[in-house]
Amino acid sequence: MEKFTSLTGIAAPMPLVNIDTDMIIPKQFLKTIKRSGLGVNLFDEMRYDNDGKEIPDFVLNQPAYRNAEILVAGDNFGCGSSREHAPWALLDFGIRCVISTSFADIFYNNCFKNGILPIVLPQDQVEILMEDARKGENARIAIDLESQIVTSADGQEFRFEVDPFKKHCLLNGLDDIGLTLEKVSAIDAFEGQAAQARPWV
């Protein structure tokens, strides 16, 4: 998993509330177990018409936001089913951070396991960042995970909270497998001792 330390990038405004995981990645794209290739279908039903052509008004189809790395979203982002494909699709598109007033719990936790930083801020601060995002690619938002600060395009700083363990994992690029591999020497030692103590197993 790629480390997340800091990020300065284009933020796309998505003020809709209750954006659920089926909106993020519709169910027909859940057949794959690969984490790559889903970005093209991110927000598929909002991005494309029935003929598969891009809908020009959708934010991620607009030239200013095609390279967005941050989403500033409405309340309760990532609700609905628990599909891990939702953060996979966001990451494959290039989104590394989502800012909202609240997230669905399972989606929130899945983000950390896939290298995405979900940030919860009060409504008034999200509205300031939403206005920043509406200014397009010239208004970049900065995020520093180590100091836990989001900086708006005009220099306003907003501090966010994050669980210390989740922060450690993101800063060091550790998913569940990476956390296990950190203990590989202890696991090998245990297995060696167990084999000597119970050679018949």
pTM equals 0.88
Residue 1 lies in a domain: no
Structure-block tokens of residue 20: 């659920």
For 77-135, the pLDDT digits (tens) are 999 988 999 999 999 999 999 999 999 999 999 999 999 999 999 999 999 999 999 99
Helices 164-172 & 105-113, crossing angle to 10 degrees? Answer: 40
Of 18, 117, 119, 14, the closest CA to residue 73 belongs to 14
**Enclosing domain of residue 86:** 6-197
* Model confidence at 186: pLDDT above 70: no
**Mean pLDDT score of the chain, rounded to an integer?**
92
Residue 158 lies in a domain: yes
Cα dihedral 60, 115, 27, 40 in deg (nearest 10): 40
- Which neighbouring-strand residues pair with 79? 20
For 53-85, the pLDDT digits (tens) are 999 999 999 999 999 999 999 999 999 988 999
Q: Do residues 75 and 130 make contact, with C-beta atoms less than 8 angstroms apart? A: no
For 156-175, the pLDDT digits (tens) are 999 999 999 999 999 999 97
Q: Which strand (E) or helix (H) includes residue 100?
A: strand 97-100
Q: How confident is the model at residue 139 (pLDDT cuts 50, 70, 90)?
A: confident
Domain count, the chain: 1
* Model confidence at 180: pLDDT above 80: no
Which CATH number does the domain housing residue 61 bear?
A: 3.20.19.10
3-state secondary structure of 4: coil
Distance CA 141, CA 41 (A): 25
Length of the chain: 201
